[in-house]
Amino acid sequence: MSRTIIIGGGPAGMSAAVEIARSGGDALIIDSNPRLGGQYWRHGENAQFSHDGARFFALQDEIDREPKIEVRAGTQVWRAAHLDGVSSLWLNDGTAVTSDSLLIATGAYDRSLPFPGWDLPGSMTAGGAQAILKASGALLGRSVFIAGTGPFLLPVAALLVEAGVKVLGVLEANRVNGWLNHLGAVDLSKMKDAARYFKVLAGAKVPIRMGYAIIEARGNGHIEEVVIAKVDRNFAVKPGTMEVHKCDAIATGWGFTPDLTIAHSLGVSTDVHPIDRSVIIHVDAFQETSQRGVFAAGESTGVGGVDLALIEGRVAGIAIAVQRGLITTIDAKKRSVGLAQERSKIRKFADALLSVYKIREGWRSWINPQTILCRCEEVTFHQLRNVIHDLGANDVRTAKLLSRSGMGLCQGRVCGRIVADVVAGEIGIQATDDELRGIHNRPIAHPISLQTLADQGN
């Protein structure tokens, strides 16, 4: 088998590369960012904001020193195809690479929910607020609300507080009791992390409000104030609980959406997660997908955080090494001791978190006819309702085609799930599994210069 190509140089991709190299094999890591590390390890020049840097630097050092691992950073896969056991990837530098040994480690990105004003400058995702701070110390604002659901809100809030931002509140839409018990159930280090975040927030007197959400952002050309409200168990606004607060930016986080564009192009089987109905790559115990030679690891097989990604990367790397005949199954077993159990434990915990921090459909009551649902094409709720009720669109795909939702630059990455849920809600059904899968159908995975495409033919 040929050199393994690893798409995505985050925790999963890096740990897989290291396992393959330790087995004597070669690998090519392709990543769109200028540096390895993925979303989790975003290191700019400001190392003081690096999160859990030791593990990253260890992997980075090993990769740097290993001649068998080639890294093409700042490189995007714009098209992927799989035929007769061989995967082909076309890269935005005009080259193409092929292999019968592939690892998909494309990670995940923030899931977003719309509300009036979510498109105003100053409104960022929680991941975005963290990313710009980690990469270069940039602050999204001076006085900020953090809202959404999920344990990710805490570290983002703590990071902003430590960077000198006035965090006016952390609004967790779900009512979560016994937080620390949940986290402690897995391991003490998680509990310690959480305790540290709470300490930082308490020290800055940041109110943490359960069962609250930002239901509107307002301002003249940028965010100047928000309307927050108490929400019930289904995320519907409780009447009479609205409050208006001045702020200059917000960071909202609603969990993560696995990035399945390339997986979809390669044609590997996917599952619809029973808890949050996100679409994830189906893998077996060795992280192999439905196509022989194609493996997947990390958030794209199910959101579970950095620890899970690292383990899945190792399991995949070892399994790839076996498949390529680089090591024996006996060697593999020795190196895998404990990994499967650890993986299982973390997955269970991650699923438990998904149940607790679920997105509940009452968010649809936050939007009004003028609310933008597709940001790129500026499609409002009113326009989407129109194509359904006036033009007769009765499935997600047709509603998108007639309204232009999802046809803009982001190709539905931000709005895809939103539009699917709104359309289904309007028609009075649930989005089907295939409709949810269809959101990730992007044969052109990334915009590619026409000149590069033309030159390829030469």
Task: Name the residues that contact other proteins, by CB under 8 A.
Answer: 32-34, 39, 44-45, 79, 81, 90, 109-110, 112, 119-125, 127-132, 135-136, 138-140, 221-222, 375-378, 387, 390-395, 397-398, 401-402, 404, 407-411, 413-414, 442-444, 447-451, 453-454, 456-457
Residues with Cβ within 8 Å of residue 141, at least 6 apart in sequence: 122, 165, 223, 247, 248, 249, 250
* Residue (99 or 411) nearer to other proteins, CB: 411
The distance of closest approach from Cβ of residue 131 to other proteins in the complex, given in angstroms and rounded to an integer, is 4
**Residue 373: HSE in the Cβ half-sphere, 13 Å Cα cutoff:** 29
User: Which tokens go with 7?
Assistant: 């798409």
For the chain, the residue count is: 458
In 3-state terms, what secondary structure has residue 404? coil
* Residue (46 or 241) nearer to other proteins, CB: 46
* Residue (81 or 176) nearer to other proteins, CB: 81
Q: How far is CA 80 from CA 12, 89, 173, 195, 258, in A?
A: 20, 5, 38, 43, 17
The distance of closest approach from Cβ of residue 25 to other proteins in the complex, given in angstroms and rounded to an integer, is 29
* Residue (99 or 123) nearer to other proteins, CB: 123
Residue 241 DSSP symbol: -
* Residue (89 or 327) nearer to other proteins, CB: 89
The distance of closest approach from Cβ of residue 380 to other proteins in the complex, given in angstroms and rounded to an integer, is 9
The distance of closest approach from Cβ of residue 109 to other proteins in the complex, given in angstroms and rounded to an integer, is 5
The distance of closest approach from Cβ of residue 413 to other proteins in the complex, given in angstroms and rounded to an integer, is 5
The distance of closest approach from Cβ of residue 221 to other proteins in the complex, given in angstroms and rounded to an integer, is 5
* Residue (339 or 407) nearer to other proteins, CB: 407
* Residue (76 or 336) nearer to other proteins, CB: 76
Burial of 188 (C-beta count, 10 Å sphere; 0-12/13-18/19+): exposed
The distance of closest approach from Cβ of residue 409 to other proteins in the complex, given in angstroms and rounded to an integer, is 4
User: CA 308, CA 306: separation in Å to the nearest integer?
Assistant: 5
* Residue (89 or 316) nearer to other proteins, CB: 89
The distance of closest approach from Cβ of residue 252 to other proteins in the complex, given in angstroms and rounded to an integer, is 10
**How does DSSP assign 44-109, residue by residue?**
-S-GGG-SSHHHHHHHHHHHHH-TTEEEETT--EEEEEEETTEEEEEETTS-EEEES-EEE---EE
* Residue (24 or 443) nearer to other proteins, CB: 443
Across 92-211, the runs of DSSP E, i.e. the strands, are 96-99, 102-104, 108-110, 123-125, 143-149, 166-172, 208-210
Q: Give me Rg for the CA atoms of the chain.
A: 22
The distance of closest approach from Cβ of residue 157 to other proteins in the complex, given in angstroms and rounded to an integer, is 16
* Residue (323 or 403) nearer to other proteins, CB: 403
Residues with Cβ within 8 Å of residue 279, at least 6 apart in sequence: 258, 260, 270, 271, 272, 273, 436, 437, 439, 440
The distance of closest approach from Cβ of residue 344 to other proteins in the complex, given in angstroms and rounded to an integer, is 30
* Residue (35 or 345) nearer to other proteins, CB: 35
User: CA 65, CA 88: separation in Å to the nearest integer?
Assistant: 27
CA 366, chain centre distance (Å): 23
The distance of closest approach from Cβ of residue 373 to other proteins in the complex, given in angstroms and rounded to an integer, is 13
- Find the Cα–Cα–Cα–Cα dihedral 183, 184, 187, 189, rounded to 10°: 80
The distance of closest approach from Cβ of residue 208 to other proteins in the complex, given in angstroms and rounded to an integer, is 23
User: CA 254, CA 272: separation in Å to the nearest integer?
Assistant: 18
Angle at 120 between CA 117 and CA 123, to 5 degrees: 95
* Residue (177 or 451) nearer to other proteins, CB: 451
> Which among 445, 443, 106, 421 is positioned nearest to 281, based on CA atoms?
106
Residues with Cβ within 8 Å of residue 344, at least 6 apart in sequence: none
User: Which tokens go with 191?
Assistant: 């509990």
